[in-house]
């Protein structure tokens, strides 16, 4: 029997979910920065997924983590939600 290499105590690697995140599968709309000068930095703390951050280059949105909830666009100017899918709509 080929056994998986598992820790003795059932447990996970720190930050492991962040490394492999693919939050995009949940996304219907994505946040896009329309005017960075108008973004209220408080939205960094409103994001459930740590998907928006502020570094030397300015605000950065990570589409690896963003699930597209739209809180940032709702709570701040300078961010708009745009549809992930813009192709033709039909009957499924």
15 or 90, CB closer to other proteins?
15
Among 30, 39, 59, 67, binds other proteins (CB under 8 A): 67
5 or 90, CB closer to other proteins?
5
**Among candidate residues 34, 33, 35, 27, the one with its CA nearest the CA of residue 83:** 27
Identify whether the C-beta of residue 22 lies closer than 8 Å to the C-beta of residue 67.
no
Tell me the closest approach of the beta carbon of residue 91 to other proteins, in angstroms: 26
User: Quick check: 39 binds other proteins (CB under 8 A)?
Assistant: no
**Among candidate residues 74, 41, 68, the one with its CA nearest the CA of residue 55:** 41
Residues forming beta bridges with residue 33, ordered by sequence position: 79
Residues 39, 34: Cα–Cα separation, whole Å = 9
User: Quick check: 38 binds other proteins (CB under 8 A)?
Assistant: no
Judged by the rule CB under 8 A, the positions of this chain that interact with other proteins are 1, 3-4, 6-21, 23, 26-27, 41-42, 44-51, 53-55, 62, 65, 67-71, 73-75, 81
């Amino acid at each position: 029997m080929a056994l998986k290499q598992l820790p003795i105590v059932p447990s996970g690697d720190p930050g492991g979910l962040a490394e492999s995140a693919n939050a995009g599968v949940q996304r219907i709309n994505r946040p896009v920065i329309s005017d960075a000068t108008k973004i209220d930095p408080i939205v960094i703390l409103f994001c459930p997924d740590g998907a928006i951050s502020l570094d030397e280059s300015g605000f950065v949105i990570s589409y690896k983590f963003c699930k597209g909830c739209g809180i940032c666009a709702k709570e701040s100017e300078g961010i708009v939600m745009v549809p992930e899918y813009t192709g033709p709509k039909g009957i499924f």
